[in-house]
Chains A and B, each alone.
Chain A
Amino acid sequence: MRFCIACFVAFMTLLPGIANAQTSIRFADAGAHGIELVPAGGAFEATVSIENVSSKPVRLIGLDLLRGTESLPVLPVGVTTRFVDGRSSRRLPPGGKKDVLVRWEPSPDANMREWYGHLVATTETDDIAVVGVRAEARESTLHRHVLSGLVLLPLLGALLLFVLGRARVAKPANLRRVALGVSGLQLGLGGWLYSNFNPAVSVLDGSGGFQFLERMSLLPGLGIELSLGVDGVSIVLVLLTAFLSFVAILLGARASSRQHVYWALLLAASSALATAFLAVDLALFTIAWAAAIGALASGVGIFGGAQRRRAVVKLASISALAIGSAAFVFWYLSGNAGETLLLDGSTAQRTFSVVELTRIDWLARGLTIGGVNAVAVMYSLVVLAAVCALPLAPVHTWLSDVLAEAPPGFAVLLAGGATHVGGYLLIRVGYAVLPAGTLWGAATVGALGLASIVWASLAALVENDLRRLVGQASVVQCGFVALSLSSSTGAGVQGAVAQMLSHGLVVAALVGALGFIHSRVETTRLDELGGLAKDMPRLAVLFGVVVLASVGLPGSSGFVGQWMSVASAMPMNPGLAIGAAASLVLLGAFHWRAFSRLFLGNIPETWTQSRHLEPHGGRFPELRDSELSALIPLVVAIILVGLHPFAVLRLVASSALDHAERVHPPSPTQLVKTHPMLKAPATQPFIPVDEVREAVCRERRRARHPGLG
């Protein structure tokens, strides 16, 4: 079986894209991946020859790069093509060649610094030749390969740790140091990416708004490419993943003979999650997502608590449903996208590229599945995948079960990182590829979000196990993500990203703190604990800050996420937004209950003589420096994001607006320069505004939803 799979993969890898067969012209001198523009003065240029390979003379009628549409351009401005000889003659004798110069003159304030394109030549007999073109205005190697570094570094680290552990050449403490070093490097790369990321880039700058693009062929026969890129949405999630991986390693692991497996699986999960967020190709995204869940489930299965088997089964089954739904959607979309050009200029029958799929107006194609509009079906499946992954009610209980059994490091990456794939899916596929579906299903997503907030808050009010309670709190936070995304606005996308960021930080801190308590007394049950503030005041202070952030206290990261979620949902679904705001009281109540039971009052006397605390004189030992070093970065991040969220959200703004404009294209009334207030006669300044807007809405609804009703 394994052999068959290996053969299939090898075959698909080697299967080339459909070449430009039986054409009279071809581009000579192009490499395997097309041509690359090289610096020439202040510009970049490359020369490629177009050759007549037929026995008859041909006349070229077209020679240009594919530039896309005005709203979704492929290339930045300043890219030109011309014949090198400068002659206007376009005739090519049999065997004749003509040199073509491709030149890019980036303006000083150009946002996009790299791009991939295709140079297409057409003859009067409709023969076509295509060659891939690549340009990179950044010279350093780090600029070119930072994304693959973010992905490969932890993967290589995982392999190294596995080998070191198997060979028993390193002590467990050294293994942790290696893991920490690798994760630190990944975090450093993330920091470099943050400082070099250009927040002003939008889809109007070309390449779908992705930066630091890296592309190579993976399975050309299936149209799958190893395509990495980062935009405003993904950069935050990648940075969060790198940060949480570092914290997860700082949290430590229990003494075990298989520590190398623990660290290797953590790093592998980190690598896979980063790949999922950076993938521009949806097939790569799916593979990476599945790999991340696989690594995390393995970690829980090997190192988890007594009920780990049940937890893994739940995690695996729900994730299989989510990944399966998403994979079906991607497969369907890729199959109906039509022929697409690959990196080298060859064509493929399928494409999984987000950028390419975004260009297609799926509603206009009128596809149906079983008589139902395909967009509605596809979006429903995307929502199903997101609901399972985030998770939202009614399939949310797996998270509590998994968090109750998972070791802290894996719990951090799972709850703080992997769950966000659900929200990311709604943005990347829902907003970008299926905008009509997003508008159609917005109210449903919002209702699911509110239901999750209320339901999980109520359940948490009577939850007795703190780790399960953190799971419920996570569901509440994810409910705000869904609520935010139901708004279909830029603020909604930005709010969802802010909420995911806050959720990641908060849940990591909560899981870490509970892990420290569990490591002391092997329980996190509220009816067994109490009064910890007396013995562990530092933990009480830090835990208090994190709990307040989870509740959404102003000045913490939680406020930004929740406030933006409610703010963005308010104009679109005021009822849902007000309901969510009212639920903050429930949120405060269950968090307060947990905090007060855990830290206030008196320590139960049974603990003073327990075997756990006897070595410490019957007292709960205060946090050690190593434990503080894991919690303090999270708390500092929570406060910094809370006080200066724009430092992160500025990365998201442009991309969020791009996504929102896919769903709500700008109408004349949204452009200030034509706004009636500034133009209309003073006698009727305002009443007509609403009328105009309503008319625009009506037209837009009619135009965009003929099939959805």
Chain B
Amino acid sequence: MRKELTCITCPMGCRLVAESDSSGELAVSGNRCPRGAAYAREELLAPKRTVTATCRAAGAAVDGSGTRRVPCRTVAPFPKERVPELLEAIYGLEVSLPVARGQVLLQDALGLGIDLVATRTLS
């Protein structure tokens, strides 16, 4: 397997090439520092993303007034392939106000041990 990717650890944007040999060992080239190799490994073997989104505020008015969405995020990067499923879950939530920044909206999302928290205090 050979894969090209751009490192985003710093603004240098190193173009990385990751190749795995028959033993499954991943060799990374093109990186100017060790962080590039680590980035490539994680990105190829277990890519994760911090998910930010909004969920519905309970009782949101139909005429568009008042608080309608509650912004939220995962407290840690989330496995990339499960992100669509997580988004579904987030869009299905209905959060009653008031809500405090950091308040857990979804505990142990999808059973992966990562919480979803509100990112803004709303009354």
Is B one of A's binding partners?
Answer: no
Write the residues of chain B forming the contact surface with A, with a CB cutoff of 8 angstroms.
none
